[in-house]
Amino acid sequence: MATQHSRSAARLMMAPAVFLLLVWMLVPLSMTLWFSFRKYLPLRGGDLGWAGFDNYVRFVTSSAFWPSVMTTLIIVGGVLIITVVFGVLLAMLLDQPMWGQGVVRILVIAPFFVMPTVSALVWKNMFMDPTNGLFAHLWKFFGAEPVSWLSQASLESIIMIVSWQWLPFATLILLTAIQSLDSSQLEAAEIDGAKPVSRFYHIILPHLGRAITIVVLIQTIFLLSIFAEIFVTTGGAFGTKTLTYLIFQRVLESQNIGLGSAGGVYAIILANIVALFLMRIVGKNLDT
């Protein structure tokens, strides 16, 4: 029973976190909003006055805007699909009895510990380089023409790199969920003669629903803002410019803070649309 006393105590305990996050959100957000209505060009002398909605119009009418939104969604969607599908399969595999389970688990989760910059550099140079990369050697070994991964299959390559980094996270959460599955249920189904496929669809997958929701939600938050992987590999060329990257270009390369800030506001809107969308589809599972 929550008494009046414990309620106010609870509020007090929540206060620091809520207050800090409020400040952390409001201060940059209001500064971003302010800048987005200014003609702010640091290299031309700084704040040059009121700009009205110019920055917003210019950002959204630029030919790079809609492609960047699409690219963002493709990367987020692609990585989510790959990590969830392979995460489920991997989790089921790791749940099987085997020798050296602990070591295999270590191998599988290792990529999660690698800095995004490092993983992008390693993939770009040592694997995807069309001359010295390991893939090029492999392709040549089989008599095929080496692929210029980052220009010919740029988006796929980036999705692959990012998926490699996030697969361990998905696998870990899904694995914990699978391990909590009551095995007697599965055994009963097996005795009833249910095929493995139907066992998967009717028992395992529903049980994983909640874990998948968590994976999708957390990863989306991180994936919407991936940056290092693009900065290091393609620098936004070959159709890999995400909204975050476009804002980076406006802020740091074009040195147009006003325009970049307007882009930042669009990015927040996009993030919230995606979040809403997610809540609709998967939110039912998240009854916390």
Partner 1 sequence: MARAVTTQRKAINTAFAWGVGLLIFFPILWTILTSFKTEAQAISDPPVFLFFDWTLENYAVVQERSDYMRFLWNSIIIAGGSTILGVIIAVPAAWSMAFVPSPRTKDILLWMLSTKMLPAVGVLYPIYLLFIKLGWLDTQIGLVIVLMLINLPIIVWMLYTYFKEIPGEILEAARMDGATLKSEILYVLTPMAVPGIASTLLLNVILAWNEAFWTLNLTAAKAAPLTAFIASYSSPEGLFYAKLSAASVMAIAPILIMGWFSQKQLVRGLTFGAVK
Partner 2 sequence: MTLKGAFFAASALVSVSATALTAEVLTIATVNNGDMIRMQGLTADFTEKTGHEVNWVTLEENVLRQRVTTDVTTKGGSFDIMTIGMYETPIWGANGWLVPLDDLSEGYDVDDILPAMRNGLSHDGTLYAAPFYGESSMIMYRTDLMEAAGLEMPDAPTWEFIREAAVAMTDRDAEINGICLRGKAGWGEGGALITVIANSFGARWFDENWTPQFDQPEWADALNFYVGLMNDAGPPGYATNGFNENLSLFQQGKCGMWIDATVAASFVTNPDDSTVADKVGFALAPNHEGVEKRANWLWAWALGIPAGTQKEAAAKEFIEWATSKDYIELVAANEGWANVPPGARTSLYENPEYQKVPFAQKTLDSILAADPNNPTVDPVPYVGVQFVAIPEYAGIATDVSQEFSAVYAGQQTVAEALEKAQALTIDAMEAAGY
Write out the residues near partner 2 by the rule CB under 8 A: 41-46, 58, 62-64, 129-132, 145-146, 148, 150-152, 231, 234-239, 241, 249-250, 252-256, 259
The structure tokens listed for 54 are: 């110019």
DSSP string, 256-288: -HHHHHHHHHHHHHHHHHHHHHHHHHHGGG---
Name 50's bridge partners.
Answer: 38
From 20-28, 48-56, 149-157, 196-204, span contacting partner 1 (CB under 8 A): 20-28
**Minimum gap (Å) between residue 129 Cβ and partner 2:** 8
Q: Specify the 3-state DSSP secondary structure of 40.
A: strand
Give the count of beta carbons closer than 10 Å to the beta carbon of residue 11.
Answer: 10
* 10: contact with partner 1 by CB under 8 A: yes
Name 40's bridge partners.
Answer: 47
**Minimum gap (Å) between residue 204 Cβ and partner 1:** 14
Q: Among 65, 139, 227, 238, which residue interacts with partner 1 (rule: CB under 8 A)?
A: 227
214 binds, among partner 2, partner 1, none (CB under 5 to 8 A by kind): partner 1
**Minimum gap (Å) between residue 246 Cβ and partner 2:** 10
**Minimum gap (Å) between residue 90 Cβ and partner 2:** 31
Give the count of beta carbons closer than 10 Å to the beta carbon of residue 187.
Answer: 10
27 binds, among partner 2, partner 1, none (CB under 5 to 8 A by kind): partner 1
> Are the beta carbons of 257 and 42 closer than 8 angstroms?
yes
> Are the beta carbons of 52 and 37 closer than 8 angstroms?
yes
The footprint of partner 1 on residues 137-196 (CB under 8 A) is: 137, 141, 164, 167-168, 172-173, 175-177, 180, 183, 187
Alpha-helical segments (H) within 37-64: 54-61
20 binds, among partner 2, partner 1, none (CB under 5 to 8 A by kind): partner 1
Q: Among 24, 53, 66, 201, which residue interacts with partner 1 (rule: CB under 8 A)?
A: 24
| Spacing of C-alpha 245 from chain mean position | 14
